[in-house]
Amino acid sequence: MATLDKTKKSNRLLASRRYTHETLTAAQEAFTEVLDLGASEIYTQANSIPSSGLPYSGSSQQANTYTNPKGDSIMKYWYRQKLTKSNTNNEVWFFLNPSGSDSGIGAQLIDSNQQTSFISPKYSIAGLATSTTEDTTPGYLATLLKSTSLNSGSLDGDDVVSTNNYTFDYKTGVVQFTDSSVDPTNSDYLYMTVYQYVGTTLATGLELTGNVSSSLTSTGSFGRIEVSANTLSIGGTEINKTVADNITSLDTPLSTTSVPTFAGLTIDGDISASGDVIAQNYIVKSSVTEVTTSFSSGSTKFGDSSDDIHQFSGSVKFDSTLFDIYDASDELMFKIQNKVAILGTITGTAPSAIAGGIYYSGSDAWYLGYETSPT
C-alpha cells in the first residue's frame, strides 16, 4: 500500500488537480476546483492599496488608517506591536491586539484577539519588493524585531530579525521560526511593524474597475451603486457618465420610496409624476415656442399673498363664460357673464371718489367719480 505524499498532494492541489491514488502521476489526475475561499477572504479594494509612496513609517503614526480618495478605510499601520508566543515553545508567535500573556497562548484554537489580513510585498512595485516597513523608503515587507527590552522605542537596526530565520504568514498573522537554533529565548520579546488590510471584502462590498454583465433573467438588489467608468447601462439602455457620476453622490439610495436630493438634473425626455411637482421657480427657455398645459380636472392657483404680481407678455384668452375677480376678503369685485360686465356690490360707507371711477351700491344705485363738479 502506497504512503500518502503530502508534498505531491500540495503541488497537485495548487495546480488545480485532484490527488487520489499515490500510484497516479500528476498528468493522470483530473483538473478540478480545489480551493475553498470564503467571501470574507477576497479583497475587493485591493486596487486602492498604494504600490509606492507608503504613507506611514514611524511611531507617531501607530494605528493610523490610510483612506482612498473616496474616504474608504483601506489599510491600518501597526508600529512595533508586541507579539504573543505559543505556550508550547518559542518557535511560533501570534499577532494579537491587545497582546496576550508573556507566558504564551494555546496554538490549536484561534484567539479572539488574533489579527489577520496583513499586506505583503506583492502589493508594492518591484523596486520595493525587499523594502521593509521601517526603511527610509518603506515597503510592505514586515519588520520583525527581537529584544529583551519592553521598551520598543529603544530598539534599532541591530534588533531586526533576519527574514532567513522565520516565515510570516500575512494572511493568518502567524510567525514561525525555521528551527530551534534561531528561536527566541524565554527572555526575548518580539515586535512587528506591518500594514493590515481593512478595506472591503466580497462579503462586505464590491468595487470593480471593469464591466459587469448579466442575463436578461438575472435579478439583483443593491444598497448602493458607484460608477467610475464611462457608462452605466441598465436594461439595455446606456446612461451617460454625467448621470452615472451623480448616482455616487445621492444622499439616499434610489428606490420607489426614496426622496433623493440633486444639485442639478438634466433630462432628455418626458417627466411623469403621480404626485405634486413643487418648485420655487418655473422657467421656460426662450427656445421653446409653445407651451401646452393640460389638466384632467381641478383648479389652478398662482401666488400666495395679495402683493404678488403676475406678468404676461401677449394676449390672455379665457375659454369660459365666466370671468370673476375677487378681493383679499374673497368678495366679488368684478365679473363678466354672458358678455355682461357686472360690478360687485359695495355696502356700508361709500368709498372716496376717484376720477373715472364707478361703483355699484347695495341700494341699486350707480355712482360715478369725476375730476370737477359737473354742470
**Which is more confident, 297 or 141?**
141
| Least confidently predicted of 238-247, 294-303, 339-348 | 238-247
Task: Report the share of the chain in percent with pLDDT over 70.
Answer: 79
Distance from chain centroid for Cα 253: 10
Distance from chain centroid for Cα 64: 21
| pLDDT number for residue 184 | 97
| pLDDT number for residue 252 | 47
Q: Cell triple for residue 370? A: 369725476
Mean pLDDT of 257-265: 73
Say how many C-beta atoms besides its own lie within 10 A of residue 375's C-beta.
3
Cα(348)–Cα(374) distance, rounded to whole angstroms? 25
pLDDT for residue 53 is more than 90: yes
Q: What are phi and psi of 7, to 5 degrees?
A: -65, -45
pLDDT for residue 30 is more than 90: yes
| pLDDT number for residue 239 | 59
Find where cell 444639485 sits. 263
On the question of a cis peptide bond just before residue 98, with omega within 30 degrees of 0, the verdict is yes
| pLDDT number for residue 232 | 61
Say how many C-beta atoms besides its own lie within 10 A of residue 114's C-beta.
17
What is the residue-averaged pLDDT of the chain?
A: 84
Q: What is the DSSP string of 220-266?
A: ---S-----SS-EEETTEEEPHHHHHHHTT-SS---TT-----S---
Whether the CB-CB separation of 118 and 172 falls below 8 Å is answered with no
Query: What pTM was computed for the model?
Result: 0.60
| pLDDT number for residue 220 | 67
| pLDDT number for residue 222 | 63
Say how many C-beta atoms besides its own lie within 10 A of residue 57's C-beta.
17
Mean pLDDT of 172-200: 97
Nearest to 85 by CA among 8, 173, 190, 158: 190
Distance from chain centroid for Cα 239: 19
| pLDDT number for residue 253 | 53
Mean pLDDT of 97-108: 96
Q: Cell triple for residue 42? A: 477576497
| Least confidently predicted of 12-21, 267-276, 366-375 | 366-375
- pLDDT per residue over 65-94, tens digit each? 999 998 999 999 999 999 999 999 999 999
Mean pLDDT of 95-105: 97
Task: Report the share of the chain in percent with pLDDT over 90.
Answer: 50
| Least confidently predicted of 65-79, 91-105, 148-162, 314-328 | 314-328
Q: From residue 140, give the alpha-carbon distance in Å to each of 34, 147, 288.
A: 29, 22, 62
Find where cell 527610509 sits. 136
Mean pLDDT of 319-344: 78
| pLDDT number for residue 286 | 57
Q: How confident is the model at residue 333 (pLDDT cuts 50, 70, 90)?
A: confident
| pLDDT number for residue 226 | 63
pLDDT for residue 191 is more than 80: yes
- pLDDT per residue over 192-246, tens digit each? 999 999 999 999 988 777 776 766 666 666 666 665 555 666 555 665 545 445 4
